[in-house]
Chains A and B, each alone.
Chain A
Amino acid sequence: MIGPMEIMIGITALAALFSTAATYLAVTEKDLVKAVIYSAIQSTIYAFIYYMLMAPDIVLVYIPVAVGLYPAVILVLIRKTERWEKD
């Protein structure tokens, strides 16, 4: 039987599947700027999963750190070093 609890956990599970796809793209991408963007997408989905797991205080910390600061810092690193990953 599908009740409201099953719908909420189902949405969380669907978001987790999307996060797996984003993680795969982030790990296998050769262009590091695109990899950082995929990582930010994965972090956004994780923030949603944390929210659905009843942790809104974590979300308030996690969104600025993982969607804002991590990509910004790594983009600065890529800008100062090299953009492409060699085979």
Chain B
Amino acid sequence: MDTATYFLYILVSSMVMNLALALYGIFYKPHLTKKIISLTILGDTANAFALIIGYRLWPGEITPSRPPILVGWTHLNKTMLQQYVSTAVDPLPQALVLTAVVIGLAVTLFLVFLALQIYRHYGTLDVREIRRLRG
């Protein structure tokens, strides 16, 4: 196994660990604010996985992979397109992640508002207390 693959394994393992920690925070922490914080971490980790899927290793020894940005599109030629295709990372996961970040912000704002209403109604944000007070 070469060194780059080894480092990529470390990266993916850390992300899996983050995913597990965020799931633990969502399911086992009783406080709603902590659940919201864990949910943001979970979403960001899922986005990171999408970007890792779209990443490509360097095509050459000293040729880095590049962001998927097509420069000089007013006078494109075949050489530029070939260079773009052979060096750019996958743009599709990046487009999806860009959407997911904004949607995650909207969902978080909604959940924060919901938690605020729950606090005004029940006087606590601890789900054990809320379950006891229900009905």
Contact = CB atoms under 8 A, between A and B. Distances in A.
Interface string B56-98: 0110011011111100000000000000000001000010011
Contacts, number: 159
The interface residues of chain A, by DSSP majority, are classed as helix
Contact of A62 (B30, B67, B101): B101
A23 B21 CA distance: 7
A16 B55 CA distance: 15
The interface residues of chain B, by DSSP majority, are classed as helix
Contacts of A35: 34, 37
Interface in A28-71: 32, 35-36, 39, 42-43, 46, 49-50, 53-58, 61-62, 65-66, 69-70
Interface of A: 1-6, 8-10, 12-13, 16-17, 19-20, 23-24, 26-27, 32, 35-36, 39, 42-43, 46, 49-50, 53-58, 61-62, 65-66, 69-70, 73-74, 76-78, 80-82, 85-86
